[in-house]
Each structure stands twice: as structure tokens, then as C-alpha cells.
Amino acid sequence: MTNTPANDLLARLAGKNASSDGGSDPWATLAATTPAHEPVQEFETVGADEKLDSLLDRLNKMAKGGRGEAGALGKSTSYDRDDEPLDAFIPREPTNAREAGLTDTEIEALALKYLVSRGEASGRQISEQLRLPFLIVEEQLRKMKYDQLVVYKDTTVANDYVYYPTDLGRERGKRYSEHCTYFGAAPVTLNDYIDSVKAQSLEKQHPSIDDLRRAFEDLLINPEMFRRLGPAINSGRGLFLYGSPGNGKTSIAERVTRSFGQHIWIPRAIGLDGEILRLYDPSNHEEVPLPQESGLLNSAKLDRRWVRIKRPTIVVGGELTMENLEITFNTTTGISEAPVQLKSNCGTLVIDDFGRQRMRTDELLNRWIVPLEKRYDYLNMANGKKIQVPFDQLVIFSTNLEPKDLCDDAFLRRIPYKIEVTDPSEGEFRQLFKIMCPLMGFEYRAEVIDYVVQKHYQTVNRPYRCCQPRDLLQQVRNLCLFEKEPLELSRERFDAAVENYFAVM
């Protein structure tokens, strides 16, 4: 690696050196380095301080006492693991800017952009906006006042002030905004993010058969399917789910993540050479804040730049394009958006209807053939820098087509598990009717289902599909509602439903 100039991008925008004394401070600069063309190296874990050790000891005792996720960290859902481990990674609140991986210029830029947008704000309001400890923000605000970028407008409680930007501060804030409009949570470093992925990796999760049963408790899965799914999920690698449409491939893929540990921590944004890469996406990530009664916030302060979420399950289908697999740069805001594979790290990425995407199959295969094997990926930033990031998720390819017709042998070798989701047996088909009838408001009538199976399946040699009981019952229900009749199963209504459902099939 080579040292970078002391004047970083944001410092040049500010018109000053990153180093306050005018000298070269290698740490304070925002490094732009050439990536190593080798797998991401294992990072040494920094020893926890006494406060964190005490916290983890306390939580381990709570977990051994049977409280676990349900008792100590919130309400349990029906599919939570009984032996749910404590969070493998806990982001600790930084005590200074160096520990946070931030330069004074970066904090100044975020604070000024926020003040210019809002007009005025107290030090604690700025601290809350940037998700940084008040002492770090207060120190930077004092420097900004000395540089005549802000002035005190009023006082507040607890030795805080209301800050107002000067003309010089407004001019500099606008200059920062021309480069990037972002003034949310302060970014974390790429190395900190890599460390978090290593600590929360799927490769460290080994769900048991009981974990799988809890994850799939709302689906009818036969024991043979469990036997084949278990090793595939434990591998944390790649998985092909193929078979006839309507047998629940997507439903199975969406529930796989439930068998792993339930929660992970991700940063809201990552800082890269003065650029902002937004990772947290509310449309794909479900936030799960720690409840106050857990005692975590009192025992060890958490870094608020990180957000606790459910292990992500991201499903992409026919809309997938090559652009979705690369960093997206918004030229208007100057903010970069992480691709789907980065957002799905430590979770599951489902490629639904594989082979029917807008992009060609061979394009996707060529793009991912190395990441699937090496477990790391290269992404290009808007400034031209190439970065190496973890590729740590269970990738599930769900398709109605034969895998051998979609991929060559080289790619199939990198997807170690290929599992066919077969048609249900007659017994399983009847069981699906028993399950779905009460859910849709019907009383199950065995003689009517016998009629449906004999006349509309056995007589015409029609294959069973897992989705058909639900779909046929939905048609019967719609017919009852249209006719203003009670919800009741009958042969005539099923005849009408079958005629509609299988009209062109």
C-alpha cells in the first residue's frame, strides 16, 4: 500500500489541510489505495475493554438462565431459536474521532450541511443527527466556532448551545453539499464493516433440524426435503431450488434465513475516500432496536451509527439487471447506493425465476462465478476506485428450468447443492386442504375433497401442485362472496373453480 496526500477531498473542498498543524497525518487522510488481489485477510480482533467483558458475561448468564432472545432481548416469535445466541458483534460507542474512523473535516462537513439545511440546532441535536457521542461533536463545534463557521445563538440545558452558521459557514456548507448532500449518520470505515461481517458470518451458524422445523413450521415440508435442505443451509454457500412451478420454491427460499441467528448489526453508511456508500435500506432491512429494559444501553453504550436488523432475506426476480449488482451513484445527491449482494451480506439472497431475468443468464454467471467461490467481490466506486468487499450470504437460485440447461459445469460446480422441489403426494395434497380451509373460513369436508381429487385429478391424470389447494379455495371463496352465500365447500363450486383455474392449463 502507498501513503496518500495529506490533503483529502473534503479538506480541499473546505480549503484547508486535513492536518490541523499543516503537516502530514497519515491517519487523518482519507486513503485511496489499490486493492489487494488476494482474498480478504482475517483481521485480528481488537481486545474488548473491561466494560464490554462485563456486559458479555452478564448476557451469557442471562442466556444460560433460559431467557435468551425471548427473555432478555425482546419478545420471541414462533420461529425463534430456543438457543438463540447473543449478538456475535456489538458495536461499541467511540470515545473520539480517531476511534470512530473519522477526520475533523468529515464531521465538520456533516454538521455544516445539517445546520445549513435546518438553520440552527443545539449541539445535542447535531449529535443525534450524526449518531455520534455528544463529546465528539462538541469538540468539533468548538473548533468550528474558533474558525468562525458557527456562532452561539442561545444556551440550552447542560452546558449546551444553539449553533447558527455564519456567512462563511453557510458558504462552506453549500460547497460541501455540491459534492454530496448527505448529512445523516456519520459513516463507518470499510474495515470496521468487514470485521462485522466476519463476526456475524453465516459460516459461523450451524442450524439444527429443530431450527429448520421452526423456520418452516408454516409450510408443509416432508422429512426427505428437510434432510436435503439441512446440509445445504449449513454450508452457507450456494443452493439451486428447481422443480415445477407452484410447489413452493420461493416460499422455501424466503424462510431459510429464519433458521440462522435472528439479528445482525449493519452500518447505516460506509465512508470511502470522502464518498458515502449507503448500506441500510428500510425497504430490504427490518430494524429491530434493542429494548431499553434489556439493560444493554446502560451497561455499554452502543455505536448509534449501526442499526440492528433481522438477518436480511432479499428477493430479486425478473427485474434484476447488471446495474443492480454494482454500486449505483446518484449524480444529483452525490450518494452511492450499495448493490443487492452487499445489502444481503450475513443473510440470504434469492434469485427468483432464475433464467427469466432481463439480463442474460451468462452475464450473471460470469459476474458471480468468482465471488461465489472466493467469498469476496470487487466493486467500482464513482471516483474510479475499486474496493474489495465481503460476499457472505446464502445465494439461492430458484427456477422452473433444469439447472443444466441454464449453466455450464464450471458454474454448477460452484453451487454445491441442487435440490428438486417435487410435487406433493396425494396425502400431502389432502393435508394442504385441511390446513387452508380454516384459514379461509371454510369447514373442511372430506367427501368434497375426495370428489375433487377423484374427478379433477385422478381421472384426467393431472399432477398435484402445492399452490393449488390455496388457489382453488380462494376461487370458491370469491364465488360464495359474489353470490352472498355462506362460506361452504360444495362439488358445484369446486367444478366452477376448476373450470376457471385450469381453463388454459
CA proximity to 195, closest of 270, 259, 110: 270
DSSP E strands in 83-138: the ranges are 121-122
Q: How confident is the model at residue 41 (pLDDT cuts 50, 70, 90)?
A: very low
Domain 189-420: give its CATH code: 3.40.50.300
Mean pLDDT over residues 130-158, rounded?
92
183 vs 256, more confident:
183
Q: What is the pLDDT of residue 50?
A: 52
Q: Which residues contact 83 (CB under 8 A, 6 or more apart)?
A: 68
Residues 6 or more apart in contact with residue 236 via CB below 8 angstroms: 201, 202, 203, 205, 392, 394
Q: Which helix (H) or strand (E) holds 50?
A: helix 50-64
- The pLDDT mean for the chain works out to 82
Asked if residue 488 lies in contact with residue 444, where contact means CB atoms within 8 angstroms, the answer is no
Convert 232-271 to b/e letters by CB count within 10 Å (16 or more is b).
Answer: bbbebbbbbbbbeebbbbbbbbbbbbbbbbbbbbbbbbbb
Q: Find the helix or strand (DSSP H, E) in which 338 lies.
A: none
Is the predicted pLDDT of residue 452 greater than 70, yes or no? yes
Give SS3 for 167.
helix
For residues 278 and 275, what is the distance between their CA atoms, to the nearest angstrom?
10
DSSP code at position 27: T
d(CA 236, CA 231): 9
Residue 31 has pLDDT above 50, yes or no: no
For residues 67-85, average pLDDT = 38
Cα–Cα distance for residue pair 359/368, rounded to 1 Å: 13
Q: Of residues 175 and 75, which shows the higher confidence score?
A: 175
For residues 348 and 262, the answer to whether their CB atoms sit within 8 Å is: no
Q: Do domains 1-25+46-65+103-186 and 189-420 have the same CATH topology?
A: no
How much of the chain, in percent, has pLDDT values that exceed 90?
53
CATH classification number, 1-25+46-65+103-186, choose in 1.10.10.10, 3.60.140.10, 3.30.465.10, 2.60.40.1240? 1.10.10.10
Confidence of residue 424 (pLDDT cuts 50, 70, 90): very high
Task: Please name the amino acid found at residue 265.
Answer: W
More confident residue, 58 or 194: 194
**What's the CA gap between 212 and 116, in Å, rounded?**
52
3-state secondary structure labels for all residues of 378-436: EEECCCCCEEEEECCCEEEEEECCCHHHHCCHHHHHHCCEEEECCCCCHHHHHHHHHHH
Q: Is 446 helix (H, G, I), strand (E, B) or coil?
A: helix
| CB-based burial label for 16 (10 Å; 0-12, 13-18, 19+) | middle
Q: Give the pLDDT of residue 179.
A: 93
CA–CA gap between residue 78 and residue 218 (Å, rounded): 10
pLDDT at 308: 94
- Share in percent of the chain as helix, strand, coil (round to 5): 40, 15, 45
Question: At residue 312, does pLDDT exceed 90?
Answer: yes
The pLDDT assigned to 35 comes to: 44
Q: Where are the domains of the chain?
A: 1-25+46-65+103-186, 189-420, 426-501
Q: Kindly indicate the confidence band of residue 261, based on its pLDDT and cuts at 50, 70 and 90.
A: confident
Could you write out the DSSP letters of every residue in 453-496?
Answer: HIIIIITTTPPP-TTHHHHHHHHHHHHHHHTT--S---HHHHHH
- Supply the pLDDT for residue 9: 52
Task: Tell which residue, 266, 101, 258, 131, has the closest CA to residue 199.
Answer: 266
Torsion sign over Cα 202, 257, 235, 416: negative
pLDDT at 292: 67
Quick one: DSSP state of residue 31?
Answer: -
Average pLDDT rounded to a whole number, residues 28-51: 43
User: What pLDDT sits at residue 415?
Assistant: 85
pTM of the entire structure? 0.77
- Lowest average pLDDT, out of 55-64, 339-348, 441-450, 496-505, goes to 55-64
pLDDT surpassing 90 at residue 168: yes
Q: Whole-angstrom Cα distance, residue 283 to residue 327? A: 17
User: Where does the pLDDT of residue 349 fall: very low under 50, low under 70, confident under 90, or very high at 90 and above?
Assistant: very high
**Average pLDDT for residues 444-455, to the nearest whole number?**
95
Residue 55: per-residue pLDDT: 52
Other CB atoms within 10 A of residue 290 CB: 17
Tell me which residue of 156, 163, 171 sits closest to 120, measured CA to CA: 163
| Distance, CA of 264 to CA of 347 (rounded, Å) | 9
Give the pLDDT confidence score for residue 8 in this predicted structure: 52
pLDDT of residue 294: 55
